[in-house]
Chains A and B, each alone.
Chain A
């Protein structure tokens, strides 16, 4: 993990002091609501339906156990004893008091954490694959590049008042998109060419009101020029992005309006000026960053499929089932990555309590070198677990309720906090997620169905990533009543793709029966070993549409 230097710490402390003073001036009436707004947003603070919401940054999803205990302490001390893992790998608190936020930020700063630029019209937290650094398929570890981008983006003076929010994701896996770079404002794909690291840079992807996938702007940007290229894109966006209408202000609208060709031309003109200038990365800096993400002290004698694992798989059906859904292959022989699902029925997707934070921190210390990762699917990963300790870890997770063997299955639902918490929402998400989980509670049936991504957003802003769910559910408001629009065929797996609308929206109590009918059609029509999404792609939307609206005839 990146280890803070003195200047990183000093910067954080100065930020806390700055925000403490800004909060004081706001409460004294020296700053208007409008003036305080971007200042608090760039410290992660929203004013929500019932209380402020504080979004804490988890840079590219990496956490250590000390930080996790602090997150638990904050939930206990200043919130109602729980927090929420967001789809951008951050941690959200739903009930802090504004007056306490400077103290919360000071507490976070002690463990090298913050809420910088987790909201507002600036460059947000950079995200990547939750298996970064341990994924055998990646060309190299993307995290050093994420940290390089994080530092460039943090308090970048030119890009603090952009037309709209700006999200960057980095992917190092060829032919798959675990970081969803196709639907980010900028997507960075790490590639190797002739032994040198470089980047294919996409711009103009995004979800929200007008979902679309990004266009390749930079075909191959050599590693030295990563920041120059990003800065060139940001400069074009800052100058020409729409500022009159917030719904047309994301970079995707600009790229679409200009066309990729023209956007590239403008970017290249800015890039020509920056290239080889002082912003150019040095080999020393890249080496230093790579040094921060060196391997933990793996046991070199550990081997794959040790006897202890084979025996446990044979003796416990429940462990076996969990192993096949929640355990991920690892680059290092003898090790595995384990996903803790925060998706047990009855738990709001992604929610975690103060005592659970502490318990997971203990497990990270015991089984995974004290490190863990948050995922955009709102789960938690212990990245470096010895295979001969998987059974013991599973037993501990069973007790905590984090061993639900539903990873990537229909009930591993991604959902935003929705109308229960969020003032932007048109409809509730959590009760819909729970109703679906209750209907599909039979584990045998769920495993028989295989991987299905079901994502729920309470409004157009798409925090629940509904556009890229194989099944997407969007809350809409119709004359003051909550309705749900369903999309099919979105993808956020091998590739990022926007789903297609099924048709008119449904009332809340129709959602579960409709999902059940769609799933039934899949079961009737699937070929051997065919996944839901593959059957959908083979048949097209029409038969699903017909089945979904069958009861309306």
Chain B
């Protein structure tokens, strides 16, 4: 079973992420925990929900959390894809999920997810990270500990430093 970082530790991961093409070709798996793209979710919401396993949605850059706002209470996990780590839209999406929609499920970074971005990702609300397959996940774990001080509030502690003193 592949491993991910979740809540600060390395754990086995039960979720399978499929692309729209894979689902079109193979159909929906009857069971198992499944991460589907937003357009698939929007088109087949009820069929997907009727499966035996749990379901999550993956947002691509340009697909905002508002698109799944009404579904959040039945989604145990929202994945946010980083096709390239330099595209920072996902940071605002994660923050929005946590602060605007008060989402308490798992928010997982997938795609081009690397050690040197983890500290910021964690601060904006990601609690799970699927590290890029060619990288050492143990090493990546260190990225969560880059700093012990922050100026701004964040999702984990909304108070900026001037309200913490």
Interface residues of A (CB under 8 A from B): 7, 10-11, 14-15, 18, 22, 31, 35, 38-39, 121, 151-152, 154-163, 227, 235, 238-239, 243, 273, 277-279, 281-282, 284-285, 288
Contacts and interface: CB of A to CB of B under 8 A. Distances in A.
Contacts of A235: 92
B100 A39 contact: no
B88 A160 contact: yes
| CB-CB nearest 9 A-B residue pairs | A161-B88, A157-B120, A285-B162, A157-B123, A278-B158, A151-B151, A11-B149, A7-B149, A158-B91
Contact of B159 (A39, A154, A157, A278): A278
B111 interface: no
B88 A159 contact: yes
Interface string B143-161: 0001111111110001111
A159 B89 CA distance: 9
B144 to A, nearest CB: 12
Interface of B: 61, 64, 85-89, 91-92, 95, 99-100, 114, 116-117, 119-121, 123-124, 146-154, 158-163
A154 B161 CA distance: 12
Contact of A239 (B64, B116, B160): B64
Contact of B88 (A35, A162, A279, A281): A162
Contact of B92 (A31, A39, A238, A288): A238
Tell me the interface secondary structure of chain B in the complex. loop
B61 A243 contact: yes
Contacts of B162: 281-282, 284-285, 288
A14 B142 CA distance: 13
A18 B148 CA distance: 12
A121 B163 CA distance: 28
Contact of B147 (A11, A158, A284): A11
Given A282-B162, A285-B162, A157 B151 contact: no
Given A155-B150, A278-B158, A161 B61 contact: no
Contacts of A161: 85-88, 91, 117
Contact of A152 (B64, B121, B152): B152
A273 B120 CA distance: 22
A239 B92 contact: yes
A162 B147 CA distance: 21
B147 to A, nearest CB: 5
Contacts of A273: 99-100
B152 A157 contact: yes
B64 to A, nearest CB: 7
Most buried by A among B91, B146, B150, B152: B152
Given A279-B160, A282-B162, A160 B120 contact: yes
B160 A278 contact: yes
Contacts of A35: 85, 114, 116
A151 B153 CA distance: 11
- Of the listed residues A31, A39, A162, A238, the one surrounded by the most CB atoms of chain B closer than 10 A to its CB is A238
A504 B152 CA distance: 49
B149 A154 contact: no
B119 to A, nearest CB: 7
Highest count of chain A CB atoms <10 Å: which of B87, B146, B151: B151
Contact of A238 (B88, B121, B158): B88
A279 B163 CA distance: 9
**Residues of A contacting B: mostly:** helix
Contacts of B150: 11, 155
Contacts of B89: 238-239, 243
A156 B124 CA distance: 10
Contacts of A239: 64, 89, 92
Nearest to A281: B162
A157 B163 contact: no
B153 A278 contact: yes
Contacts of B86: 38, 121, 161
B153 to A, nearest CB: 5
Contact of A22 (B116, B123, B159, B163): B116
A10 B88 contact: no
A155 B147 contact: yes
Contact of B154 (A31, A152, A157, A163): A157
Contacts of B92: 158, 235, 238-239
Contacts of A160: 88, 91, 120
B63 to A, nearest CB: 11
Given A158-B91, A161-B85, A239-B89, 9 more contacts: A14-B148, A152-B152, A155-B147, A158-B95, A239-B64, A243-B61, A278-B159, A279-B153, A284-B162
A18 B146 contact: yes
Contacts of B114: 35
A479 to B, nearest CB: 33
A156 B117 CA distance: 12
Nearest to A21: B142
B147 A14 contact: yes
A151 to B, nearest CB: 4
Nearest to A34: B86
Nearest to B122: A157
12 contacts: A11-B150, A14-B148, A18-B147, A35-B85, A152-B160, A155-B150, A155-B152, A157-B120, A158-B95, A163-B88, A238-B91, A282-B163
A546 B107 CA distance: 64
B142 to A, nearest CB: 8
A4 to B, nearest CB: 12
A121 B91 CA distance: 14
A257 to B, nearest CB: 16
Contact of A10 (B87, B117, B146, B148): B148
A386 B162 CA distance: 37
A407 B121 CA distance: 47
A162 B86 CA distance: 8
A255 to B, nearest CB: 18
Most central of B85, B117, B162 by chain A CB within 10 Å: B162
A157 B150 CA distance: 10
A279 B64 CA distance: 23
A28 to B, nearest CB: 12
Nearest to A6: B149
A14 B147 CA distance: 6
B51 to A, nearest CB: 32
A284 B158 CA distance: 18
